[in-house]
Amino acid sequence: PTAPALAVAPTPLEVLRTVFGYEAFRGEQQQIIDTVVAGGDALVLMPTGGGKSLCYQIPALVRRGTGVVVSPLIALMQDQVDALETLGVRAGFLNSTQNPDERREVERAYRAGELDLLYLAPERLGVPSTARLLDEGTIALFAIDEAHCVSQWGHDFRPDYLRLGELAERWPGVPRIALTATATRQTHEEIATRLALTEARHFVASFDRPNITYRIVPKDNPFRQLLDLLRAEHAGDAGIVYCLSRASVEKTAQQLVENGVRALPYHAGLPSDVRAAHQATFLREDGVVMVATIAFGMGIDKPDVRFVAHLDLPKSVEGYYQETGRAGRDGLPSTAWLAYGLSDVVQQRRMIAESDGDAAHRRRLAAHLDAMLALCETVECRRAQLLRYFGQDHPGGCGACDTCQNPPQAWDGTIAAQKLLSAVYRLERERNQRFGVGHVVDILRGKATPKITQWRHDELTVFGVGDDLPEAQWRSVARQLLAQGLLEVDPAHGTLLLTEASGDVLGRRREVPLRHDPRPQGRTTSRSGG
C-alpha cells in the first residue's frame, strides 16, 4: 500500500544490472520473468546453478507488493535474507527458529509494505493467522521453491507442500511461479496438477551439466579410492563427500584429516552450532572438503565445489542428480564420482524391505533404487542415461563420463549366472543360516574354508564349478544379478535367495549380459569394500 505511486517501475533488465550487478539474462530467465511480471503463472525446471532465484526475485522487485517465497530450506533463510540485504533488497522470513519479537517485527514490516521479499516455511501457510497476515499487505507473487517436494512419487516429499494447491483459490489474482532442479516427466506433471498450475507456462531447461564429468567405479577399498581421487585430481579443491550414515561421516572425515585433507563432518546428529560453523567454514574458506550425509547441501550456493564424491549408493537418480549438481555451479570442470559395490545393493534392498509404509511405498522405493542401479551398471554413456531418466534426449557419446572415456566390455554372463544361481538354490533349504555372497563365492571357487567343511558344502555338485573366474569377478556377477533383480537378499539373515526371474535363467530361457568391471589401477582387488 505504501509503494510510491508516482515512481515508474524499473524494467527487469534494469533491476538485473543495478541491483544484482549482472549484464545479461541467462537462458530463459527473461521470458520467465516477463511471464510473472505480466501476472502469469510459471513452472520452471532448471538445473542447479541455472539461476532460478532471479526468476522470482526480479518480478518481486518489479511488481508492486511483496514476493512471498515458500521454501523448505529453513536453515538457509537467514543467509538468503542477509545476502539480499547486502544488495539493498528488503527481505525477511518467518519460520519456527524465530522468537516472537523477531516475528512481530517481520510482520509489521510486511504490513507496512516495507518488504520486497518474504520467505516462508511451508507449514506457516497452513496456519490461519499467516493467511490473515498476508491479506493485510500486498502480495506481488508466490514463489514455490523446491517444488518437487509436492510430489509423492518423488524422493523428497513434504506433506506441507500439498496445501500449496490452495493458494490459487485463496489468492486467485496473484501470479505463482514454481521452481525445481529435479523432475522426471512424472514428477513434472504431478507438480502442475497438485499446485493447480493449469494455466502456467512451462519452462524446461536442459538438465545437462556439461562441465561435470560423471564416474561410477566399483567399490574396492572405498577410502583408499577416495584419497587417490583427491590426491590425483583434486588436491586443495573444495568438495563434498556423501556417506549414508553418521558414523561413516565421522570416520571418513577423521581419516581424511589424518591424511592431510582439510575435511569437516556434517550430519543431523551434530549440535546445531557445530553444523552452522562447519557450513560457514565450507562456504567462506577455500579448499574445504565437507563430509556429510544428504542432510547437507540443499540450497547451498558455493560456486567452486570441484567434486562431489559418493561413498555409498544414493537411493534414487533424482537424489544422485541433485547431489552431484552441487559441483561446478561456476561452469568450470568438475567431477561427480561414485563408488558402488555389492554391499550397497544388499544394504539398500534390506532397508527397503524393512521400511515403514505400505506395499506401494516399498514398490516406489524399489523402482527408485532400480533406476539408480541401472545407471551404475550401464555400458552406455552415463550422461545420456541420466538425461533420459528426466525425459530429455541425448545422443550419447558425451566424452565426459567414464563409460565414454573407457568403454566397458560387455560379456555373456549366462553360464556364470546359472552357476551362481544353482549354488544359491542348493543353499535354500538352509535359508535361516547366514550364507552371504562370500560363502557362495567360496563354494563356486572350491575353497574349503572351515565354514564350508562344517556345512559339508564341499560335497555339493556346484563346489568348485566356478574356479575359472577370479573372486572379484564373481562378486561383480552377484552384484549385477542383484541389480537386475535376478537375486535377492533375505533381509533377516543376509542370505542370498532366488527370485521369480531367476527361474528363467536356470531354465535357460533368459540370457544375462553383464559388464566387465574395469580393473582398479595398480592394486589387486580386495574384498573389504564389498
> What minimum distance in Å lies between the beta carbon of 157 and ligand ADP?
20
The CA–CA distances, whole Å, from 77 to 69, 98, 118, 272 equal 10, 11, 10, 15
Grid cell, residue 308, equals: 562431489
Contacts of 84 (CB under 8 A, 6+ apart): 57, 90, 91, 116, 117
Query: What is the contact mask toward Zn ion in residues 356 to 395, using x (rule: CB under 5 A)?
Result: -------------------------x-x------------
By the rule CB under 5 A, 216 interacts with Zn ion: no
Query: What is the contact mask toward ligand ADP in residues 244 to 283, using x (rule: CB under 6 A)?
Result: ----------------------------------------
For Zn ion, the closer CB: 11 or 378: 378
Residue 5 and residue 8: Cα distance in Å, rounded?
A: 8
> What minimum distance in Å lies between the beta carbon of 118 and ligand ADP?
18
> What minimum distance in Å lies between the beta carbon of 350 and ligand ADP?
34
Question: What is the size of the binding site for Zn ion (CB under 5 A)?
Answer: 5
Q: Which amino acid is at 101?
A: D
For ligand ADP, the closer CB: 29 or 495: 29
Grid cell, residue 177, equals: 511461479
Grid look-up 569437516 returns 264
25 binds, among ligand ADP, Zn ion, none (CB under 5 to 8 A by kind): ligand ADP
CB 466 within 8 A of CB 416: yes
248 binds, among ligand ADP, Zn ion, none (CB under 5 to 8 A by kind): none
Q: What residues numbered 8-27 form the site for ligand ADP, per CB under 6 A?
A: 22, 25-26
DSSP state of 401: B
Q: Are strands 496-498 and 487-489 parallel, antiparallel or unpaired?
A: antiparallel
Q: What residues numbered 386-445 form the site for Zn ion, per CB under 5 A?
A: 398, 401, 404
> What minimum distance in Å lies between the beta carbon of 512 and ligand ADP?
41
Chain mean position to CA 316? 7
Grid look-up 490459487 returns 168
404 binds, among Zn ion, ligand ADP, none (CB under 5 to 8 A by kind): Zn ion
For Zn ion, the closer CB: 81 or 212: 212
Angle at which helices 437-445 and 414-427 cross, to 10°: 110
155 binds, among ligand ADP, Zn ion, none (CB under 5 to 8 A by kind): none
Extract the runs of DSSP E, i.e. beta strands, from 356-413. 410-412
For ligand ADP, the closer CB: 205 or 313: 205
Three-state DSSP class for residue 423: helix
Question: What is the size of the binding site for ligand ADP (CB under 6 A)?
Answer: 15
Q: What residues numbered 310-329 form the site for ligand ADP, per CB under 6 A?
A: 329
Neighbours of 414 (CB within 10 A): 15
Residue 235 and residue 408: Cα distance in Å, rounded?
A: 28
398 binds, among Zn ion, ligand ADP, none (CB under 5 to 8 A by kind): Zn ion
Q: Which residues pair with 139 in a beta bridge?
A: 66
Residue 203 and residue 43: Cα distance in Å, rounded?
A: 6
1 binds, among ligand ADP, Zn ion, none (CB under 5 to 8 A by kind): none
Residue 106 and residue 112: Cα distance in Å, rounded?
A: 10
Neighbours of 407 (CB within 10 A): 12
By the rule CB under 5 A, 219 interacts with Zn ion: no
322 binds, among Zn ion, ligand ADP, none (CB under 5 to 8 A by kind): none
Instruction: Choose, by CB under 6 A, the member of 301, 304, 370, 458 that binds ligand ADP.
Output: 301
Q: Are strands 176-180 and 201-204 parallel, antiparallel or unpaired?
A: unpaired
Burial of 198 from C-beta contacts in 10 A (0-12 / 13-18 / 19+): exposed
Query: What is the contact mask toward ligand ADP in residues 33 to 62, using x (rule: CB under 6 A)?
Result: -------------x-xxxxxxx--------
For ligand ADP, the closer CB: 326 or 382: 326
> What minimum distance in Å lies between the beta carbon of 145 and ligand ADP?
8
401 binds, among Zn ion, ligand ADP, none (CB under 5 to 8 A by kind): Zn ion
- Residue number of the CB atom closest to ligand ADP: 51
Contacts of 218 (CB under 8 A, 6+ apart): 339, 340, 341, 476, 479, 517, 518, 520
For ligand ADP, the closer CB: 290 or 369: 290
DSSP secondary structure letters along 310-324: ESS--SSHHHHHHHH
The CA–CA distances, whole Å, from 440 to 54, 343, 491, 498, 503 equal 56, 15, 17, 13, 18
> What minimum distance in Å lies between the beta carbon of 89 and Zn ion?
41
Chain mean position to CA 233? 23
For Zn ion, the closer CB: 117 or 327: 327
157 binds, among Zn ion, ligand ADP, none (CB under 5 to 8 A by kind): none
For ligand ADP, the closer CB: 136 or 330: 330
48 binds, among ligand ADP, Zn ion, none (CB under 5 to 8 A by kind): ligand ADP
Residue 333 and residue 211: Cα distance in Å, rounded?
A: 5
For ligand ADP, the closer CB: 205 or 416: 205
For ligand ADP, the closer CB: 53 or 473: 53
Q: Which residues pair with 42 in a beta bridge?
A: 177, 201
Maximum alpha-carbon separation in the chain: 94
Interface ranges with Zn ion (CB under 5 A): 381, 383, 398, 401, 404
- Residues at the interface with ligand ADP (CB under 6 A): 22, 25-26, 29, 46, 48-54, 301, 303, 329
